[in-house]
Amino acid sequence: MNFEFSEEQNMLREQAQGFLASNCSMAVVRRVLDGDEPYDADLWKKVAEMGWTATVIPEEYEGLGLSYLELSVIAEELGRALAPIPFSSSVYLATEAILAAGSEEQKQAYLPGLAAGTSIGCFALGESSGQTSAASLTTKADSSSITGVKIPVADGDIANFAIVVATSDKGDGASLYIVDLDQDGVSRESITTIDPSRSHAKLTLNAAGAQLLGNDGEGWSYVQSILNRAAVLFAWEQVGGCDTALNMAKEYAMGRFAFGRPIATYQAIKHKLANIYVKNTLARSNCYYGAWAISTDADELPIAAATARVSAIQAYYYASKENVQTHGGMGFTWEFDCQFPYRRSKLLATNIGSEATWQDKLITAIEKQRAA
C-alpha cells in the first residue's frame, strides 16, 4: 500500500506553501476583490515562471511532463491561498480540453503558450441559469464561425481564447470549438459574481471565427471527461480552502473570550470545529482517490472524480459557513477575511456543476460499473 504523496511531491508542497505565503496573503485576495484588476497579473506571472501552468503538459509542447499528483499538490495550495488567478480555467479546463481533443497542430499552437502562462484559456459551457446539457445548448457553429451567448464564463474577460461547447446535429449533440477572444465577432462583458476575487464574463459570439476541437458530435463526451478531470483538481482546491476556513475559525476561537474564557473551551464551538475537521478529512481522503485515478487514467475515474467533488463541495460549504458563525458578528463584516472562503466555496461549487449534479453523476457511474 502506497497511498501517499512522494517525498519529492511533499517538497513541492513546501515550496508552494512558502511561495504563496509570501506572494498570496489574504491581503492580495482582498485587493483583487475590492479593486478593479480582474486578477493578480503579477502573481500569475510568477506562478507561470515557476512552471505550475506547465505541470502536466508534455515536454514536446514545452511543458514539464509531470503527473497529476504534482498538479494536485499545486491545486491544494492554490486553494488554500484562495489565489485570485485564472489557474483553474486555464490549467484544469482549457489545457485539459486541448490535451484531450486537440489535433497535433492545435497542440503545437496552444500548449506552449498555456505552459508558459503567456496565453490564458477559459472554458465556456453554461448559457443561462440551470443545468446545461447537450440538448439545452443554443450556441451554434458552422464550418468556421460560431454564434451564441455564454454566461457565466470564468476568466472570460481576461482569457486569450475559449473552449466553447456548441450544439451539433451529429453524434452526442455537441462539439467543441476553440475561439480566439481578441476578434471582432466576440464581445465580452465582465459580470459581477458572488466572488469578485475571481473574474467572470459574459461572452457574446457573433459569427466569430472558430476552429473545431476534436470530432464533430463528440463534444459532450469530451465535456464529461474534461469535467471529470477538472473535478478532481477543483476538489483539491476546495480541500485546501477547507483548511484555511478551519484554521481561521480555530485561531479566532482560541483568542476570543466570552463569559471569562476562550470560546474554544465551549463544546458548541469545539464540536463545530471537530465536524469541520471530519468533513475536511473525508473530502481529502477522497481527493487522494481522485488523484490516484486521474494520474493512472483508471477506469474508476468517473466514480473517483464525483466522489471527491461531492465531498469537497459539502466540506467547503460547511467549513466556510461555520467559520463565519464562529467569528460571530465580526465574521459578517467586510473587514474580516471570513467572507473569502464563504464566497469561494460557493463559486467552486457551482463553477463546474453543482453538488446535486455530481451526486447524480456519481450514482450513474456506480450503476454503470455494476452493469458492466
Closest residue by Cα to residue 324 from 249, 265, 239, 240 = 249
What is the Cα–Cα distance from 15 to 10, expressed in whole angstroms? 9
Query: Both ends of the chain: CA-CA distance in Å?
Result: 27
Q: DSSP letters of 279-335?
A: HHHHHHHHHHHHHHHHHTT-TTHHHHHHHHHHHHHHHHHHHHHHHHHHTGGGGGSSS
Residue 232 is placed in which grid cell?
478532481
Backbone torsion region of residue 65, taken as left when φ is above 0, otherwise alpha when ψ lies between -120 and 50, otherwise beta: left
Q: What are all long-range contacts of 346-350, with beta carbons under 8 Å and residues at least 24 apart?
A: 346/194, 346/195, 346/317, 347/193, 347/194, 347/195, 347/198, 348/79, 348/234, 348/237, 348/238, 348/241, 348/313, 348/316, 349/238, 349/313, 349/316, 349/317
Residue (123 or 318) nearer to another protein, CB: 318
Query: CB 267 → another protein: shortest distance, Å?
Result: 7
Query: CB 266 → another protein: shortest distance, Å?
Result: 8
What is the Cα–Cα distance from 272 to 270, expressed in whole angstroms? 5
Residue (174 or 283) nearer to another protein, CB: 283
Query: CB 56 → another protein: shortest distance, Å?
Result: 15
Residue (162 or 287) nearer to another protein, CB: 287
Closest residue by Cα to residue 347 from 308, 320, 322 = 320
Residue (87 or 358) nearer to another protein, CB: 358
Q: Which residues contact 101 (CB under 8 A, 6 or more apart)?
A: 176, 213, 214, 215, 218, 222
What is the Cα–Cα distance from 325 to 314, expressed in whole angstroms? 17
Residue (175 or 286) nearer to another protein, CB: 286
Residue 353 is placed in which grid cell?
456543476
What is the Cα–Cα distance from 215 to 211, expressed in whole angstroms? 11
Residue 221 CB burial class (10 angstroms; 0-12, 13-18, ≥19): middle
Residue 182 is placed in which grid cell?
481578441
Query: CB 244 → another protein: shortest distance, Å?
Result: 14
Query: CB 53 → another protein: shortest distance, Å?
Result: 23
Residue (136 or 369) nearer to another protein, CB: 369
Query: CB 349 → another protein: shortest distance, Å?
Result: 14
Closest residue by Cα to residue 269 from 282, 250, 247 = 250
Query: CB 313 → another protein: shortest distance, Å?
Result: 10
Query: CB 42 → another protein: shortest distance, Å?
Result: 34
Q: How many residues does the chain have?
A: 372
Query: CB 270 → another protein: shortest distance, Å?
Result: 4
Residue (200 or 284) nearer to another protein, CB: 284
Residue (48 or 245) nearer to another protein, CB: 245
Residue numbers of the site for another protein (CB under 8 A)? Answer: 1-5, 69, 246, 250, 253-254, 261-262, 264-265, 267, 269-271, 273-275, 277-278, 281-286, 288-289, 291-292, 295-296, 306-307, 310-311, 314, 355-356, 358-360, 362-363, 366-367
Query: CB 208 → another protein: shortest distance, Å?
Result: 37
Residue (133 or 275) nearer to another protein, CB: 275
Residue (314 or 320) nearer to another protein, CB: 314
